[in-house]
């Protein structure tokens, strides 16, 4: 009989991107701690993220999509979990309606926003469905963990605050050893993004146009789903992108490739209005790439004083910040970034997460024995 603790990871609603990184990192941490780990997914995301040896994967393509995943969880997931025989289930953002004890890691800011903001970010159907599933997780999970203090504060204001809450930062992987020095004359900007409206890629392009006036050789690189990012741009911005070779799309990048892109870039730029935690900003800092972000949601909690923070949607302020990023100021900001990123080591953060869950599981078992 296998006496190892068995955790099921409900990643049915996760796709490639930040959520996939978080799931893989935690699966690895649980496996290293001696747990048996089974990951449930609906999409083939492991062509980008590699799971460690020993982690089992259960793929359910019929659960791909907001409505499909909700129906799958409601009618099929309980039986699948019973067959797999887990001791508890780890879910992301939403409740998994199964009989197992549930730990929910809240990494999506959108379900906790007011209705109007949710509709702008996700459309009316997903806005309603996500909210309901998130509120169910907050009230019915045995423990709720949050990617940032900002998300925990939103949850506490939602009126559905759980009884066992804790903030667990996810951290970042250390970049590979530097082998090439960056070209100090290179003025490439990079943005790691998606096609979602709240990412405000139009503002990033607006800044790039202004930046290129004084830096004619400047380039802009979009990292993420090329088709979605392009489709989400306004028509005039698509025309501009089509007409200039200075804007390129790198697609999804593995961690080493991402760090190489960040290290080679002059700055990471984001105008995103909704971020649960700026993991990619810390990754940029670790790679020696200064960060420019808008003063919204979790920006200050993530970046602190180690990046350039400007008012939301203010491209003029952003341009001024970029233009000031020279000489000693740039060197100082890079040093601050390195120090800031070092506080969020991925293995340490993930191990703390696992220990929090292990302590909870031990307490739960002791209560059953009592």
Structural domains of the chain sorted by starting position, each given as residue range(s) with its CATH number in brackets: 6-171+346-369 (3.40.50.2000), 188-342 (3.40.50.2000)
For 176, what's the count of Cα atoms within 13 Å in the CB-facing half-sphere? 11
- Between CA 8 and CA 120 the distance in angstroms is 33
Q: Residue 219: name the closest of 280, 264, 282 by CA.
A: 264
What pLDDT shows up at residue 30?
96
Burial group, residue 338, by CB count within 10 angstroms (0-12, 13-18, 19+): middle
Q: How far apart are the first and last CA of the chain?
A: 24
Q: Residue 112: name the closest of 162, 154, 146, 82 by CA.
A: 154
- For the ranges 146-150, 156-160, 213-217, 352-356, the lowest mean pLDDT is seen at 156-160
Residue 196 has φ and ψ, to the nearest 5°, of: -65, 140
Residue 233 to residues 181, 227, 245: CA-CA distances in angstroms? 33, 10, 17
The dihedral sign for the CA sequence 33, 36, 42, 48:
positive
Residue 325 to residues 223, 307, 329: CA-CA distances in angstroms? 22, 10, 6
In the chain, what percentage of residues exceed pLDDT 70?
Answer: 94
Instruction: Work out the average pLDDT over 125-130.
Output: 91
Residue 80 has pLDDT above 90, yes or no: yes
Q: Tokens 């590979």, residue? A: 176
What pLDDT shows up at residue 183?
64
Max mean pLDDT among 23-27, 226-230, 253-257 falls in: 226-230
Q: Do 160 and 104 form a contact (C-beta atoms < 8 A)?
A: no
- For the ranges 49-58, 190-199, 235-244, 345-354, the lowest mean pLDDT is seen at 49-58
Q: Is 218 left (phi over 0), alpha (psi -120 to 50) or beta?
A: beta
pLDDT one-digit tens code per residue, 242-281: 999 999 999 999 888 999 999 999 999 999 999 999 999 9
Q: Do 29 and 350 form a contact (C-beta atoms < 8 A)?
A: yes
Mean pLDDT of the chain: 90
pTM of the shown model: 0.90
Instruction: Work out the average pLDDT over 285-300.
Output: 94
Q: Tokens 């649980």, residue? A: 30
Q: Residue 6: name the closest of 29, 46, 26, 34 by CA.
A: 34
Confidence of residue 1 (pLDDT cuts 50, 70, 90): very low
- Between CA 271 and CA 244 the distance in angstroms is 21
Higher pLDDT, 3 or 209: 209
- For the ranges 102-106, 184-188, 191-195, the lowest mean pLDDT is seen at 184-188
What pLDDT shows up at residue 185?
72
- Between CA 298 and CA 71 the distance in angstroms is 32
Planar angle of CA 89, 90, 91, nearest 5 degrees: 115
Residue 179 has pLDDT above 80, yes or no: no
Interhelix angle 124-140/66-75, rounded to 10 degrees, is 40
SS3 of 89-120: EEEECCCCCCCCCEEEEECCCHHHCCHHHHHH
- Between CA 180 and CA 27 the distance in angstroms is 32
What pLDDT shows up at residue 54?
83
Residue 127 has pLDDT above 80, yes or no: yes
Instruction: Work out the average pLDDT over 8-24.
Output: 87
């Amino acid at each position: 009989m296998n006496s190892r603790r068995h955790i099921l990871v409900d990643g049915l609603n996760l796709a490639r991107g930040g959520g996939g990184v978080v799931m893989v990192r935690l699966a690895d941490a649980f496996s290293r701690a001696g747990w048996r780990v089974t990951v449930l997914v609906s999409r083939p995301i492991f062509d980008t993220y590699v799971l460690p040896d020993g982690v089992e994967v259960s793929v359910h393509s019929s659960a791909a999509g907001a409505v499909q995943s909700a129906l799958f969880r409601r009618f099929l997931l309980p039986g699948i979990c019973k067959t797999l025989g887990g001791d508890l289930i780890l879910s992301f953002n939403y409740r998994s309606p199964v009989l197992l004890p549930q730990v929910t890691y809240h990494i999506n800011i959108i379900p906790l926003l007011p209705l109007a903001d949710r509709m702008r970010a996700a459309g009316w159907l997903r806005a309603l469905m996500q909210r309901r599933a998130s509120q169910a997780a907050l009230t019915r999970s045995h423990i709720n963990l949050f990617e940032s203090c900002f998300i925990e504060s939103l949850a506490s204001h939602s009126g559905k605050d759980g009884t066992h809450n804790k903030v667990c930062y996810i951290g970042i992987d250390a970049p590979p050893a530097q082998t090439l020095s960056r070209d100090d004359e290179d003025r490439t900007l990079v943005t790691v993004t998606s096609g979602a409206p709240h990412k405000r890629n139009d503002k990033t392009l607006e800044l790039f146009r202004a930046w290129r006036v004084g830096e004619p050789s400047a380039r802009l690189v979009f990292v993420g789903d090329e088709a979605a990012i392009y489709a989400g741009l306004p028509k005039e911005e698509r025309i501009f992108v089509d007409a200039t070779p200075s804007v390129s799309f790198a697609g999804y990048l593995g961690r080493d490739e991402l760090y190489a892109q960040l290290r080679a870039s002059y700055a990471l730029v984001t105008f995103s209005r909704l971020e649960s935690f700026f993991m990619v900003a810390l990754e940029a800092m670790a790679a020696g790439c200064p960060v420019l972000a808008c003063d919204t949601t979790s920006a200050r909690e993530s970046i602190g004083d180690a990046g350039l923070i400007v008012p939301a949607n203010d491209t003029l302020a952003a341009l001024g910040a970029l233009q000031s990023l020279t000489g000693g100021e740039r060197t100082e900001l890079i040093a601050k970034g390195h120090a800031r990123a070092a506080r969020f080591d991925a293995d340490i953060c993930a191990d703390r997460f696992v220990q929090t869950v292990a302590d909870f599981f031990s307490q739960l078992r002791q209560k059953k024995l009592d």
